[in-house]
Structure 1
Amino acid sequence: MEALRDHPAPDAALLAALETPRLDAARSRAAILAAARMNRFLSYGDVAEASFLCWREARRAMDPHLEALCRGSLRAGGPLISAIVVNRTGLATGHMEGRALAGFCAMAARLGVVVGADPAAFLAHEQRAIFAWVETHDLHD
């Protein structure tokens, strides 16, 4: 017990950071690329589960997390890899609408990608691009 008294208490911010669930970029990227290799879409919940989180824990961090993954992909000459991450209702087709589609297009624009006048066509183009990209690149998750 004496040894504990000799060490200062951990900083509250450090404790909060250690207790806050975090999305893991490497795990998310691996999950997205694995889905792309199978020509399938995955849900936001699937991305959360790749980091061993439930959707409720990951929801608020998901948009900036996916944006960071796309930024990294673009810097490496790749596509907007989050294009195949959709709501559960769009898993069969890759369909995205409403807030999700608007958010994806806004993120693309922030990263310097020209979206154009038809957001749905832009999304479909980006989805085809990631499926084609994984076929032609030797990617290491």
Structure 2
Amino acid sequence: MTAAEVAEAHSHLVAFCDEFETLYVQQCADRIHLTRQCIHVLGHLGPETYRLGPAHNHTEATMEHTIGNLGEEIRQPSNPYANLSECSLYRGQVNAFFAMYPQFAPPSQGDLPQGSLDLGGGICSSSKS
């Protein structure tokens, strides 16, 4: 996505948030609960995209995916939390080792994600810009 596209999307999202608050909250403190986090966060997506990149890179979806992967590794259903802790600890230790010694990291498997472009040096980017 281009900077112009992010700016345009941001202006539309802010307009939506303003209209939502005008229609439903009407500047009444007792109606503020009508503005849920999912509505409020829309006004931050544009600036946060500049700062952190696309939301899918840093939202809870990444953590939920990791939790799902760890849940699949549980082998002792009689004591799942202890087993999950061990799996998490092991994964953290392996990731720390490869971060400190990248020359020992296994080669990446599979193709690049759809729409990405290999920039060399282990860096890939969206092919659309």
More strand by share: 2
If asked which structure has higher relative contact order (CA below 8 Å, sep 6+), I would say 1
TM-score normalised over the length of structure 1? 0.28
